[in-house]
A and B are shown apart, each in its own frame.
Chain A
Amino acid sequence: MTTQKKLIFGLDSFGDIPTTAEGQLFTQAAAIRQVVAEGVLADQLGLDVIALGEHHRPEYAISSPETVLAGIATQTKNIILASGVTVLSSDDPVRVYERFATLDALSNGRAEVVLGRGSFTESFPLYGYNLEDYDLLFEEKVALFAKLKTEKPVSWSGKTRAPLKETAIYPQTEKGSLATRIAVGGTPESVVRAAKYGFPLTLAIIGGTPQRFVPYIKFYQKAAAKFSQPAYPIAVHSHGLIADTDEEAFELGWRHLRKSFVRIGRDRGWVPMSRAQFENEVKSGSFYVGSPETVAQRLAEMIRTLGVGRVELAYGAGELSAPARMHMIELYAKEVIPRVRKLLSEGSEK
C-alpha cells in the first residue's frame, strides 16, 4: 500500500534492567552496557534499526539515548541508531539537534531522531517544565525542529525557549539533514502534526488489535496530501518476546512483560492485566510473544493488515535475563525476519 521498498526490522529498548542467568539484577550501569552489547549483536546479525527510548524511572536505565547510541555507533557498521522516543517537549530542540548531529558524525550518517510527547511525564518536573504547557511545548518545539532540519541559519521566536536570529547550528551533517520521525500513540492531533511537518510516522501500538489502526494510516496519508507533504511508509512499535517454544515465550512474557505493564499501570491506577487479557494480547492483540514461527505469522499478518514499512519490536521488558534477551535477538534476526519476508512474498504471489 505504501512502497515496494524492502521492509525494515528493528529492536527497541528503554534500557530495562536485566538479570543474570541466575536471576541477579544488573546495576543500571551494567544494564546500559548490556544494551550496547545487544546493539552490536543486532548489527552483526543484520538488523536494520536499534531504537532507544528516554525515561527517568528506576526500572529503566536509559535517560540519555543518544549517549548510549554513540557507544553503539563506534562498534557497528550498518545499523540505524534511533531514539524511541526523544521527549522533545522537555528538551531543547537546538541541543537535541546538536547531539544527534554529533551521533550522526560518529556513525557515518546512521543517526535518527524519533520525536514524541512521551507517554511518561517524569521529565517535566525533572527539567522544570509545567505539564499545563504539554501541548504548547511540543507544538512549538516540533515547529522549530523542522526548521533546524534544513541546517540553514534559523530565525525563530516563541514562548518555550530563547529566540534565534539567523543562527546556524553545529555540527552540520554530511547528508544535509538529520533523519527524523514522529512517534504517536494514537492521538489524532499528533498524526496530523507529523504529516504537516513532513515527518515519517511511527505508531506505538502497545495494546489491542492492530486492525484498529487501519483508519489512522489512511488518516496520515490524507493529512500528508492535504499539506502537500510526502506520506512515508509507517513504522510500528510493539512489544515482543521470542523464545524457542511458544510455552517458554508465554511463560517469560507472563512473568516479565506483564510485570512491566502491571508496575507502570499501578502508578496510573489500572488494575493488573489479567491472564485472559494477556492471552488476548498474545493471540490477537499487540504482544508478539511466541516461538519464531508464531511470531513470524503474527507479524506477517500485522504487516499485511496495516501495510507498514518498518517493524520495531520492543524487547527485554521487565527483568528478563540478559541471556534470554540475547537469544531473542538471535531468533528474531535469524528465524523470524527471514520467515516474515517469505510469508509476505508468498502472500503477494497469490
Chain B
Amino acid sequence: MKKTIGILGAGKLGTVLGQLALKAGYQVLIAGSGDPAKIALTVEVLLPGAGALSAAAVAAQAELIVLALPLGKYQTLDPKQLANKLVVDAMNYWWEVDGKETKLNDARTSSSELVQAYLKNSTVVKAFNHMGYHDLYDETRPSGAKGRKAIAFVGNDKQGLGRVAVLIDALGFDPYYAGELKQGIRLEPGSPVFGANVSLAELKKLVAAFVESPRGREVLRARGGEI
C-alpha cells in the first residue's frame, strides 16, 4: 500500500511539495482553504493522481500532514482534527502580511513552537521552510547523487523526527537534524539558512553561523545568552 501524505494549503509551496511527493510515489491528499471544488482543477492538472479534499478529510485520512498555509492563519486549523498526527510545519513568518508587532516573530519563541502549543496533541516537526519553492522543485536528486541539496528539520519527538527524515530523503534531499523545536528559530526568515539551497556540509555551517548573524545575536539577547 502506498504511503499517504496530507497537505494543507494549495498555493505555490503546497503544490510543489505535492508534486515532489507524487514523484516519490506517495499518495497525496491536499486541501486548500474552504471548498475542495475550488482546487479541483489545480489538482487535476498540476497534481494528477492526488486527491482534492476538505481539510477535515485530509486530516482524517493521512497520518503525516504538511502545513503549507500562510503562517498567520495557523489558528484556523482544527487541533482536534490533527490530534495524534505527525504535523510537518513548512510555514514562515512573512512580515509584509503578518506585521512587525507579532508573536510570530518573537525572538524568544520559534514560530513552530507556537504551532506546537496550538496543536497540543500533535507532534510538530519543522521542515521544508527554508528553501524557496522553485528551488524545491528544481533541486531534487536521488540519495547519494552528486550535488544533492539538504533540508534542515527540527523537533522534539524522536519517532516523528525519524519519519520526517525519511520523507525529506524520499522527496530528494539530504535531511539535516538541526535540534529541538526551539532551534527552529535558526531556520526562520532573517537567519543565514533562510533561502539556502545548499549541500549538507554547507547547510550545517549556515545553521551554526546563526549565532553570529544579526538575528542570532538578537535571539541570544532575548533568550538570555542561550538558544
B116 adjacent to chain A (CB < 8 Å): no
CB atoms of A219 and B190 under 8 A apart: no
CB atoms of A121 and B97 under 8 A apart: yes
A212 with B137, Cβ < 8 A, contacts A192-B42, A218-B45 known: yes
| Interface core residue of A121, A187, A189, A226 (most chain B CB under 10 Å) | A189
B193 adjacent to chain A (CB < 8 Å): yes
CB atoms of A271 and B10 under 8 A apart: no
A-contact bits for B31-50, CB 8 A (1 contact / 0 none) = 01000001101101110000
The stretch that binds A, out of B53-61, B74-82, B160-168, B194-202, is B194-202
A165 adjacent to chain B (CB < 8 Å): no
Within 8 A of B (CB), among A175-191: 185-189
CB atoms of A219 and B45 under 8 A apart: yes
CB atoms of A226 and B41 under 8 A apart: yes
CB atoms of A268 and B189 under 8 A apart: yes
CB atoms of A277 and B10 under 8 A apart: no
Count A-B contacts at CB 8 Å: 79
Question: Which A residues are in CB contact (< 8 Å) with B135?
Answer: 207-208
Range for the number of chain B residues in contact with chain A: 35 or more
Distance to closest chain B CB from A127 (angstroms): 15
B-contact bits for A214-236, CB 8 A (1 contact / 0 none) = 01101100110010000000000
Question: Which B residues are in CB contact (< 8 Å) with A267?
Answer: 95
| Alpha-carbon separation in the docked complex, A120 to B97 (Å) | 10
Question: Which B residues are in CB contact (< 8 Å) with A218?
Answer: 45
CB atoms of B96 and A207 under 8 A apart: no
B11 adjacent to chain A (CB < 8 Å): yes
A131 with B96, Cβ < 8 A, contacts A188-B15, A226-B41, A271-B196 known: yes
| Alpha-carbon separation in the docked complex, A188 to B206 (Å) | 32
A170 adjacent to chain B (CB < 8 Å): no
Question: Which B residues are in CB contact (< 8 Å) with A134?
Answer: 97
B132 adjacent to chain A (CB < 8 Å): yes
Point out residues on A near B: beta carbons under 8 Å. Answer: 120-121, 131, 134, 185-189, 192, 207-209, 212, 215-216, 218-219, 222-223, 226, 265, 267-271, 277
A–B complex contacts, Cβ < 8 Å, 25 sampled: A131-B96, A131-B97, A134-B97, A185-B12, A188-B11, A189-B38, A192-B41, A207-B132, A207-B134, A207-B135, A208-B135, A208-B137, A215-B45, A215-B46, A219-B41, A219-B46, A222-B41, A222-B44, A226-B41, A268-B96, A269-B92, A269-B191, A270-B195, A271-B193, A271-B206
- Other A-B contacts than A120-B96, A271-B192, A271-B196, 15 sampled, CB-CB below 8 A, are A121-B97, A131-B96, A188-B12, A188-B39, A188-B46, A189-B38, A189-B42, A207-B135, A208-B135, A218-B45, A222-B41, A222-B45, A271-B193, A271-B194, A271-B206
Point out residues on B near A: beta carbons under 8 Å. Answer: 10-12, 15, 32, 38-39, 41-42, 44-46, 92-97, 132-135, 137-138, 188-197, 206
